[in-house]
Amino acid sequence: MGSIVTRRLSIVASALTAGLLAQLALVNAAAPPSSGSGSTAPKADLAHAGPKVQMNQGDFKVNKRAAIAHKPHEMKDPKTGKALDANASITLANGKKMTASSYFAQLNALEKKFNAIGHTLHGGAGQKVVLHEAIMPKTTIKEQTKKLAAKHAKFNAKTMRAAPKLESIEQTHAAATKLDAARMASLAAAKPDAAKPDAGAAKTTHNLRNWNHTVGKQSLIAAFLSGKLETTGTKDGVKLYGEVSGGGYLMNHRMALLEAKSSVEGPHTGAGRATLSVRVMGQSVYNVDKSSATAWNLSKTLSKTFDYGTKIHFSIGPIPVSGRLGARGSAGVRFALGLRPAHATAQIVAKVAAKVYAQVGVDVSIASAGVGGEVTLIQDELTFGGEVGVDVDPARGPYISEHFYALNYLRMLAGRFYLYARVNYLVGHKQYDFNLWNSTGIKVNGYLFNVNNRTYLYPNYTAPVQGDQGGAEQK
């Protein structure tokens, strides 16, 4: 009878050991982006498996102490103090079962390794020890925050024109379309001809605004936001172009979570063209390319949830840990595009929100791994775009009107995030933490720019006399 029990215990122990990594990989596989435990996270619309990332040891410090003498744990029942049979089946506090000999062999192997760095598993059940922690780039983040805050200006009614709402853009487009025939007739009548050489060469306009901001430490955790807006105006037509990219870095790996590019061209004559492309995690989610010789506009809202994961392998003390480190969240745009003769309108409201998450496991039977805390990698809403057109002033002649802007609400790198390994005792556990990030982050909002211009095409323009059919100038 005893030999049968022994064989059964041996089979149970072997099965537990063989299937342990698969079991532990599921311990936190269902973790939502805000924590390392809890309910299953909803399946993302888009998923991406990134490469293996490597921690830079120089970014972390180990709370190492002077080595201590090794004292093995005796094979005894902690409740009764009586010696345990090597083949006895024992149940750990986390519900796992294994033979006493296997348990104490692993426990003492870990004990010896912990002793080498000045720590011990003796006593302290339920205790939490910070064994590794990131060397936070506090000074760098402070400087980055100061520079970024300086780039965001509060609205000034004296010098700025507020960025319009999408709804008002649609209403303005509809109303202006009804007046386009009269506007274009006025432009044709106001254009200087060869009989008026003193009007001067037609002016052109060109404006370019760039932004490129990164906060954090790329070899650890960082977030970025970049883009540009460009306007061009001539007597023959106008063009508006914009692009934006937002995302982050995990252990030197760059993640472009949201990218959008758009252009609108409104020529004086002929067909205009409007384009927009949106990508989430590098995957195309929306494209439009429209040419039209008549007025045209389009408004739409779209958003996708995403899960961007990378593979990672590291150690917490002597305990090897492996799994997945990534970012989860949502990204998308609301936009309005408008085409009219000699007029272009575009506004993109780009939104991206991502939190750092991890799923980890260990290949040591008496240990487990998990995740705690949460970090907002990036949470941004950027409204950018403008309108450029050619119109006529009765007295001063044709002019190029421009209003372009970028209004931003941004939060980055806020929170605490850590991984941990737990050594499971017969009566509890001891936890060793690996702090990956701990910062209040940044929070800024305001206009990156807000420009409202009017440029008259002909510096020496003279308005024609009413009823002038021959090009005579007004005296």
Q: Is the pLDDT of residue 399 over 80?
A: yes
Query: CA nearest 404: which of 158, 237, 161?
Result: 161
What confidence tier does 17 reach under pLDDT thresholds 50, 70, 90?
very low
User: What does the CA dihedral 26, 30, 31, 36 come to, rounded to 10 degrees?
Assistant: -20
How many Å separate Cα 365 from the centre of its chain?
Answer: 36
CA distances (Å), 467 to each of 186, 187, 471, in order?
13, 16, 10
Distance in angstroms between the alpha carbons of the first and the last residue of the chain: 124
pLDDT, residue 419, reads: 96
The answer to the question of residue 61 being in a domain is no
CA distance linking residue 80 with residue 102, whole number of Å: 20
Please report whether residue 465 resides in a domain. no
Asked if the structure places residue 432 within a domain, the reply is: yes
* pLDDT at 96 > cutoff 90: no
Residue of higher predicted confidence among 178 and 31: 178
Q: Using CB atoms within 10 A of its CB, is residue 394 exposed (0-12), middle (13-18) or buried (19+)?
A: exposed
Q: Based on the fold, state whether residues 256 and 147 are members of the same structural domain.
A: yes
| pLDDT for 116 | 96
123 and 142 in a single domain? The answer is no
Indicate the Cα dihedral angle 117, 135, 315, 38, nearest 10°: 120
Q: Do 115 and 221 belong to one domain?
A: no
Q: How many structural domains comprise the chain?
A: 2
Contact yes or no for 98/92 (Cβ under 8 A): yes
Q: What pLDDT is attached to residue 91?
A: 84
Residue ranges with strand state E in 268-396 = 272-280, 283-292, 296-316, 319-340, 343-362, 367-393
Using the 3D structure, point to which of 127, 153, 168 is the last residue of a domain. 127
Tell me which range, 31-35, 188-192, 224-228, is most confidently predicted by mean pLDDT.
224-228
Residue 197, pLDDT score: 55
pLDDT value for 123: 81
Is 363 within the bounds of a domain? Answer: yes
pLDDT band at 36 (very low <50, low <70, confident <90, very high): very low
Residue 25 has pLDDT above 70, yes or no: no
pLDDT for 473 beyond 60? no
82 and 182 housed in the same domain: no
Do residues 120 and 142 share a domain?
A: no
What gap in Å lies between CA 298 and CA 302, rounded to an integer? 13
Q: Are residues 161 and 110 in the same domain?
A: no
Rounded Cα distance between 297 and 134, Å, is: 50
AA identity, residue 303: S
Q: Quote the CA–CA distance of 438 and 88 in Å, as a whole number.
A: 44
> What's the pLDDT at 13?
33
Longest dimension (CA), the chain: 124
Task: Mark whether 240 and 363 lie in a shared domain.
Answer: yes
The two beta strands, 205-217 and 221-234, are antiparallel
Range of the domain at 236: 138-456
Question: Is the per-residue pLDDT at 37 higher than 70?
Answer: no
Mean pLDDT of 220-238: 97
What is residue 199's predicted lDDT score, i.e. its pLDDT? 60
Same domain (yes/no): 306, 356: yes
Q: Is the pLDDT of residue 4 over 50?
A: no
Give me the mean pLDDT over the 205-216 stretch: 96
**90 and 192 inside one domain:** no
Query: What average pLDDT score do residues 331-338 get?
Result: 98
Is the model's pLDDT at 203 over the cut of 90?
Answer: yes
Decide if pLDDT at 40 tops 90: no
pLDDT, mean over the chain = 87
What integer is the mean pLDDT of 234-258?
97
Residue written as tokens 């190492």?
64
Q: Residue 385: which of 338, 427, 432 has the closest Cα? A: 338
Quick one: pLDDT at residue 429? 85
The reported pLDDT for the residue numbered 84 is 93
**170 Cβ contact partners less than 8 Å away, ≥ 6 residues apart:** 297, 299, 336
Higher pLDDT residue, 34 or 266? 266
User: 193 and 102, same structural domain?
Assistant: no
| Contact predicate 213/331, CB 8 Å | no
Mean pLDDT computed over 39-59: 87
Give the pLDDT of residue 95.
Answer: 78
Instruction: Look at residue 201 in the predicted model and tell me its pLDDT.
Output: 83
102 and 147 inside one domain: no
Cα–Cα distance between 247 and 230 in angstroms, integer? Answer: 22
475 within some domain: no
Helix (H) or strand (E) holding 248: strand 237-250
Examine residue 274 and state whether it is found in any structural domain, yes or no: yes
* pLDDT bracket for residue 350 (50, 70, 90): very high
105 and 201 fall within a common domain: no
Reported as a pLDDT band with limits 50, 70 and 90, residue 189 is: confident
Domain boundary among 127, 146, 166: 127
In a domain, 53, yes or no: no
Q: Which residues of 398-420 are buried (b: 16+ CB within 10 A; e: fewer)?
A: bbbbbbbbbbbebbbbbbebbbb
Nearest residue to 63 (alpha-carbon basis) of 141, 102, 117, 8: 117
Average confidence (pLDDT) over 441-470? 83
Residue 469 — pLDDT band, cuts 50, 70, 90?
very low
Three-class DSSP category at 39: coil
Which strand (E) or helix (H) includes residue 402?
strand 397-424
Residue 159 has pLDDT above 80, yes or no: yes
- Between 374 and 463, the higher pLDDT residue: 374
**Within its chain, how far is the Cα of 332 from the centroid?**
11
Position 469 in a domain: no
Beta bridge partners of 393: 397
Residue 339 structure tokens: 């085409």
* pLDDT band (50, 70, 90) for residue 28: very low
Q: Which of 469, 471, 472, 462 is nearest to 200 (CA)?
A: 462
